[in-house]
Structure 1
Amino acid sequence: MGTEARRAGRRDFAGLWASYGLSNLGDGLVVIMLPLTALTLTSSPGLVAGVRWAQTMPYVLCTLAIGVLIDRVERSRLIRWAHLARVVALVLFALALSGEVAPLVALYTVAFLLGTAELVADLGTTSVLPMMVERNRLDGANSRLESTRSSLNEFVGPPLGGFLVAVGTVFATLSTAGLYLVAAGALLLLGRRYDPRPAGESAPAAKPRIRDELTEGLRYLRGHRLLRNLALMVCVMAAAWSGWSAVLVLYAVSPGPMGLSGTTYGILLTALALGGVLGSLVAGPVRRLLGTRNLLAVDVITGVIMLATPVFTAQPWPVGAATFLGGVGSGLWNVTVVTLRQQLIPDELLGRVSSASRLIGWGGMPLGAAVAGVLAQTVGPRPVFALGAVACAALLIPFLRVIREDTIRAAVASRDTRGE
């Protein structure tokens, strides 16, 4: 990469980083705005948890199609359209709330649309990044993005969202729409196009069949043992975390056992963000110190602690401390695994293979939310936390056998020899 290309890449990364930060602040508002809005519309634990289910269903229904789209069109434009779609969805939701037109149905619909657009934006961002940044700088770039996501999505967003909802749900909804609009505008700063086709390759006379492209990412993932095993692990952990997230509001906010207000619930969630920021900032040094395999094991262990603590206590400080540890592990995992994917997958396949990984990994989220809703409705939230902790703890048995440091190094070396 020449000097001019590096300079252009740094400038474009700044625009992408700004857009990513603004959109994740919006996502942080949504995290608390949707369940708190649900609590004003229904007292049913199952229906409240169902909001999370609706928001994560796109991970099952839309992921592969989004991967094909990312590998077909100019990626920065696609991210911009995803932000604008969220603006439209939230403005329409605000109108539904103010007019009291089937607000619960509208809430589920907007949760699904926001989940779809978030998936497009996140996959698009991770796919465009290797086209902007040199491979030896990907760790640092991903660390910046992940620490920004944790700071704004989980630290600033939830308490701010709780405050905005206290002012009014319509006001909170329109404020979030404004953030997504500014995020879309930040992408206009990018000076280059980021077409997924390799440089110099012309468009084919006839495009491949969509069905073939849909399955290509799955075939690549199935044949790559390391990426496949990581995706299966994420599936279990994502289901457990999704169940925890879906019912935590019922456990934490009064009249739940923790007795928090909406605002203090948002503050509790900042512990997750603080841990995530710390984990993402130290991911590179920790990876060099412990090795990739041990770093990933740390995330599994801290996740078990986070999930299990509310089973034994409803005191805010222990739950907050455990949530902080879970955030540290999550930050370490996210930076490391995203960087591995970018190092192992060719640019022209990155959208489809990443989407296939998300389909398997994050596909556990709606299942976890659905199971959590049923359990919370029948026996309360504590069994949800216990089940998630046991499932994640059980991962350590196969993890120690199939994820090895020599396997990780060999996979990266093999990709390097095939050579970009």
Structure 2
Amino acid sequence: MFVRRIAVVGTGYVGLTTGACLASLGHRVVCADVDAAKVARLREAQVDILEPDLAELVAEGLAAGRLEFVVGAGNAVADAEVVFLCLPTPMGAGGAADLTAVRSVAEEVRAVLPPGCVVVCKSTVPVGTSVAVAELLDRADVAVVSNPEFLREGSAVRDLLRPDRIVVGSDDPAAAERVAALFAKLGAPTVLMDAASAELVKYAANCFLAMKLSYVNAMAELCELLGADVTAVCEGMGYDRRIGQSFLSPGPGWGGSCLPKDTHALLQIAQAAGLEFDLLGATIEANSRQQHRVVAKVREAVGGSLAGARIGLLGLAFKAGTNDLRDSPALAVAKLLAAEGAELTGYDPEIAGQLPGLRLVDDAYQAAKGAAAVVLLTEWPLFRMLDWPLIAELMDGDTVLDTRNHLDPDALRRAGLRHRGIGRRP
């Protein structure tokens, strides 16, 4: 494998993981960020992101001299053969992706890009972004390629180094092959396509997963109405290879840094193209309904009114294995509970500091103390190992709403508590 000189602009989840993993594959990588303090920490191998194996890869890359961190995109691209843009594309007006950061960096680097280099859009961007970036660069000697990421928080390193597939899209086939060659050592299936198709792949995949989750949450509600058990139903579905076991777990709604913004962005893209994507719109609406359903269950558990009710929340991150609070369904539920007057005490093993509308405490037992009900919102493994008889003594009420179907119902019943799941038989 040829060793390439690579620049990665942006050191968030995608950028830092991409840079560290490419360095581990033997390439020479320079990562850039606008945050000087963050760059200083990364130079000392201090990684703020909770992501298994990432800190170790950063430390190894620094020690081997294959990984470097600098302030400013212009300082990273001077001799790069390939430049990855790993920049935030948050939800903007009307749900469309905000490409401000992408445009800004393209303008910053266009005069200093080496002749013949390839610029890679790694961020999730709307169809046509590769063309727009090429127009902004205004460099006939620089090709622009789309290489969407498929990284899950909590398993990003594994997903990059053992990917299901690698998607590379460009209207310049030679440039696409140069980018694909960077990952040749991984031996993963590689799909080469045009830029527009590659840009759409990530949206298509994420929105399909969101629809699957909304479907399962609706099925859980139907199970409650019919006296069925959603865990049994999903197990029976999951053995069908056309469906699979993944994303078949009901919960308090889906969230995180990708699914909410990507569903809204694709809906806006479809509408702009003249397509009424009703199925996707219903997926988003169903997710909001699920959060309100959780609140209704808590309200019922405390006697019909949340005003002044003390509620303990277990888990605040959008999923276990991460400290990411972006669009966390746990926080969405907490906001709805607080709006009805509930007094919230919350605990998450990876969240510290202050959050609006609730009091953070140091352990699950403090969260449960004096609570009329306890609500599990994030599926941290440690919650299964709690001393539930002690929690029963600490609580004023006796209901635990397990929105992830994560706990052992029998263990809670033996402790004298009422376990209420999502789509589970009482």
TM-score under structure 2 length normalisation: 0.24
Would you tell me which structure has more helix in proportion to its own residues?
A: 1
Would you tell me which structure has more strand in proportion to its own residues?
A: 2
TM-score under structure 1 length normalisation: 0.25
Name the structure, 1 or 2, with higher relative contact order (CA <8 Å, separation 6+).
1
Structure index of larger Rg: 2
